[in-house]
Amino acid sequence: MSPRWTGDRIGFGAEARSQWDLADELCFLNHGSFGAVPRALQVRATECRNAIEHNPVAGVWRDGSRAIRASAERVAAFLGSHPDRTGFVSNATNGINALLQSIPLDPGDEVLHLDHGYNAVWQTLVMTGRRRGIVPRKVEIPLPVRRADDWIEAVDRAITPRTRLLVLDQVTSPTALVLPTREIVEMAKAQGVETIVDGAHAPGMLDRPATSIGDPLAWTGNLHKWPCGLRGTAVLVVRADFADRIKPTVISHHLDQSFSAEFDWQGTFDPVPWILAGEAIDFMDRFGGWREVRRRNRELVIEAHAMLVERLGVEPISPLDGSSLGFMATLPLPDRLQPGNGGPPAPPSGPLQVLVDPVQDRLLDEHRIEIPVMHHGGRRLLRLSGHVYNEPSDYERLAEAVEAVAVD
């Protein structure tokens, strides 16, 4: 436990919320997109930046490099990864880009990605196709997903003799489902297909998410989502036999010295988010530690999901027992709000669709609820988040707001 974060235990819900600077009237149900930084960590960031300015060369480079490595070691222990093969990147997108630039692939090699995957990762695959001649292909997994085996069988069916690589979400983005990652990685490996695990949402939500997942080629995950790190904090972990082949997206001084040396220094930058990554992780000690936070957040989300499915009268996309849920849940909006069924038309497709959906805008403008409305399979889906500062009344407020938006 970091000595900085000792003190009386802070309760979940309203008491926890007092640790964040979220606007008073805002019902914040979208931790999943860009996280939310607690005030104490913002204060630490300011302290750190001020200290760096006493001697910028020491702060950024001499002491800064040591502090980054010490933080990487704390992060590795949290994730279940080897510290020498755990490197910081600015975000999961950067981690995926580094991997797709570095992994040996030949023109014509097929790379699979799920249709529940993250759009920016798909675009990276498209660009890799243009640069390197690989063939990106989407694996379709129809909704609802009722059993873990549905995922495994769908990926199994999609593998062809030309498939070389699978980019697999550990927790899907639009549909917020926790996948049977180890089983899929092992099934693919048995057919000669390597896997990159896109664990963007996994740190904090899952216990030691970079371990017990079947020895994939690499794993990447964000610390600026559920661990509440400063934005620009993510991690890339590689398997030992690839450690000298995977390079950062930006090459700097330490080419070929070691994985950690190459990733710890990627040119001059603000080292503070990475230096404070370990402290961000330890902040959850104030709420009883990560095990307790995981237990409570899941319970909160599973109950909110079941309540909303019943109140809104919709068909869930995953089992109501919550067996596929972590700190988020996605459910369809009522028919009345679906495109072509009386609801507003779908926004133009593209990476920013989530920011311009008219139902999402109404929930914020008229009800002060920040929650993403996703589009998947031609339908509008609502993705709710639950972190320590949320409480059951947030989801009651959401149910009332959706009902109100649906009637006029």
Report the interface residues with ligand PLP, using CB under 6 A: 91-93, 118, 120-121, 169, 173, 198, 200-201, 222
- Minimum CB separation from ligand PLP for residue 231, in Å? 8
Q: Do the Cβ atoms of 98 and 249 come closer than 8 Å? A: yes
CA 282 – CA 260 distance, rounded (Å): 22
- Minimum CB separation from ligand PLP for residue 89, in Å? 9
Q: Do the Cβ atoms of 269 and 276 come closer than 8 Å? A: no
Classified as helix, coil or strand, 211 is: coil
What tokens were used for 358? Answer: 């008219």
- Minimum CB separation from ligand PLP for residue 22, in Å? 19
CA angle 245, 112, 183 (to 5 degrees): 85
Classified as helix, coil or strand, 11 is: coil
State CA 332 to chain mean position distance.
Answer: 21
Nearer to ligand PLP, 198 or 370 (CB): 198
CA 314 – CA 396 distance, rounded (Å): 16
Nearer to ligand PLP, 31 or 286 (CB): 31
Nearer to ligand PLP, 234 or 337 (CB): 234
Nearer to ligand PLP, 195 or 222 (CB): 222
Nearer to ligand PLP, 116 or 286 (CB): 116
CA 146 – CA 320 distance, rounded (Å): 10
- Closest by CA position to 20, among listed 401, 395, 388, 328: 388
Please provide the DSSP assignment of 314-350 as one string.
Answer: ---SS-TT-TT-SSEEEEEPPGGGSBTTTBPPPPPPS
- Minimum CB separation from ligand PLP for residue 155, in Å? 16
- Minimum CB separation from ligand PLP for residue 91, in Å? 3
- Minimum CB separation from ligand PLP for residue 133, in Å? 24
Nearer to ligand PLP, 119 or 211 (CB): 119
Q: Which residues of 119-138 are buried (b: 16+ CB within 10 A; e: fewer)?
A: eebbebbeebbeeeebbbee
Adjacent-strand bridge partners of 332? 381
- Closest by CA position to 221, among listed 70, 1, 211: 211
What tokens were used for 85? Answer: 């093969």
Please provide the DSSP assignment of 261-275 as one string.
Answer: HHHH-SSS---HHHH
- Minimum CB separation from ligand PLP for residue 222, in Å? 5
- Minimum CB separation from ligand PLP for residue 72, in Å? 18
DSSP 8-class letter at 140: P
379-385 and 373-376 as β-strands: parallel, antiparallel, unpaired?
Answer: antiparallel
What tokens were used for 375? Answer: 């589009």
- Minimum CB separation from ligand PLP for residue 124, in Å? 9
Nearer to ligand PLP, 52 or 228 (CB): 228
